[in-house]
Amino acid sequence: MSEQHLGAITVNQAGYPSRGEKLAKFTGETSRYQVIDAATGNVVYTGQTGTYVEDKSSGCRVHTGDFSALTSPGKYRIEGAAGERSAAFVIADKPYYELQQGLLKAFYYYRCGAQLDGEYAGAWGHKACHLAEGTVIGQPELKRDSSGGWHDAGDYGKYSGPGAKAVADLLLAWELYPAAFAGVHTLPESDGVMPDILLECRVELDWLFKMQETGSGGVYHKLTTQHFPGLDVMPEEDTAELYFSPVSATATGDFAGVMAMAARIYQPFDEAYAARCLEAARTAWSWLTAHPHVPGFTNPPGITTGEYGDEVDSDERFWAAAELFRTTGDESYHSAARELAKLSFPKYSLGWGDMGGYGTLAYLLQGEAGTDPSLYAKLREGLLAEAARLLRQSREDGYRISLLEEDYIWGSNMLVMNNAMLLLMAEHVSGEPEYAACALDHLHYLLGRNVLGISYVSGFGEHAVRHPHHRPSVGDHVLDPVPGLVAGGPDRGLHDEYVREHLQGKPAAQCYADHEDSYSTNEVTIYWNSPAVFVTARFNC
């Protein structure tokens, strides 16, 4: 990120709703500012910033300009008295419509095993890839169909747990905000009947079926080559042998949870498919009950791809039980969920390693009447307490987000969006609008209202991510990266060589590099996009 954008005037580069709060953030000495109509050059609003906040995470004094009084649709930018200029932004009734479509379309670009071309892929197509059968580790004579699904991230691995988290976010977005997905037909499979978001989720669900071990019901943890390919290798050029890593309890729990959810959501559109999902979920649950104590997953010898290790599986089991109960009403699942809820694990987290939040959401969305009143009340109270904590932290932060200095970890933007998602669930449960306003502040941060003045979504914003750690974007020789991808964001741990060389001593929120070699700050992945789809959908209803 060039220094000219740091310390200046930052805005949500996707824009602001016509009605509602509109804030810009300033880090320079400017106090007086003007909002300029980009089409005419005319000054349409003049304002003055408030008192500054010493923001430790960004290392800056941050002050705020409020131009909420400006409601006329149009394209604008802000200029300070010393000539500082913000990126351009729009004001519109629904400024995030195209953003939502781009965030969702990214999953099409993540597709594995399919040729992407023509009007749907644009400049970012590639040939069909990873069509060979994979070998089951420990059973070298056993070969299985491995095609389909989504590539996980900047590499071409496919992982059951993270894939389930991504699908869960998208299915929840559809369940809570269906109006945001109406009338969109952007996929080859679009038929005007099943919404695009469900068509896209089905791509991953169809692959997840292939990850369930025949007979046992357990789910293979991941499907990858032995090692990551080079950064400029296109998907169809990655022809090394594929391996199914062993079954894990976490993968099986996630599989059971997402399949139970899918059974409920697809039932109105395809009863046979819904029944298949439910049967797969039940079979996975049977494996879990037959294997109550399973060691955490570690990479088998010879496999160096992403491990996604997780020593605690009670959260995944809780999600599975709660989701199966919600879908079936079966008291055996309810009893299991109540018992699992007594265990100590994060009950409000939505990360791939801590999935307890999805169990909590499933239970609360079932409604008080059909649940255990004491457990419902306890989970509801806990959710609202966590949301209140996030709200307090956001109000103290210079950029109005809920991350503390120590929260700028590898994949910090997932925390930003997961926290926003949790805030919106609190809004759904409580009806309190302040939670949605805080969630929108998190979206503002993602789209450019941050200390670096960068939109962390490729293709969206005047100063958006240009060089993600994403093999197709590096190897396709197209100038622009694949659009709609959410970058990982600042990582104060400086976990790759590029940032260790270039960002020593930077404040936490500045520990980011828009460079293809920075896999710890600039990689992309499906489960960073998925909560962003959920959050954006809320503001497109």
* Residue 185 CB partners (closer than 8 Å, separation 6+): 192, 196
Asked if residue 306 lies in contact with residue 152, where contact means CB atoms within 8 angstroms, the answer is: yes
Q: Which residues pair with 523 in a beta bridge?
A: 469
CA geometry: angle 261, 288, 331, nearest 5 deg? 60
Neighbours of 353 (CB within 10 A): 17
Structure tokens at 197: 């978001």
Give the ranges where 85-189 is alpha helix by DSSP (H).
97-109, 118-121, 160-176
Distances (CA, A) of 57 to 61, 207, 509: 10, 40, 5
Query: Is 523 known to be catalytic?
Result: yes
**Per-residue H/E/C for 457-514:** ECCCCCCECCCCECHHHHHCCCCCCCCCCEECCCCCCCCCHHHHHHCCCCCHHHCCCC
Catalytic site residue from 469, 470, 515, 516: 469
- AA letter at 114: A
Query: Is 469 known to be catalytic?
Result: yes
Catalytic site residue from 155, 200, 238, 427: 155
Largest CA distance in the chain: 73
Catalytic site residue from 323, 441, 491, 514: 514
CA geometry: angle 191, 195, 197, nearest 5 deg? 125
Query: Is 514 known to be catalytic?
Result: yes
Where on the phi/psi map is residue 60: left (φ > 0), alpha (ψ -120 to 50), or beta?
Answer: beta
The number of C-alpha atoms within 13 Å of 151 and in the hemisphere containing its C-beta is 28
d(CA 500, CA 504): 6
Query: Is 232 known to be catalytic?
Result: no
Asked if residue 125 lies in contact with residue 118, where contact means CB atoms within 8 angstroms, the answer is: yes
d(CA 486, CA 446): 9
Residues classed as catalytic: 155, 469, 514, 523
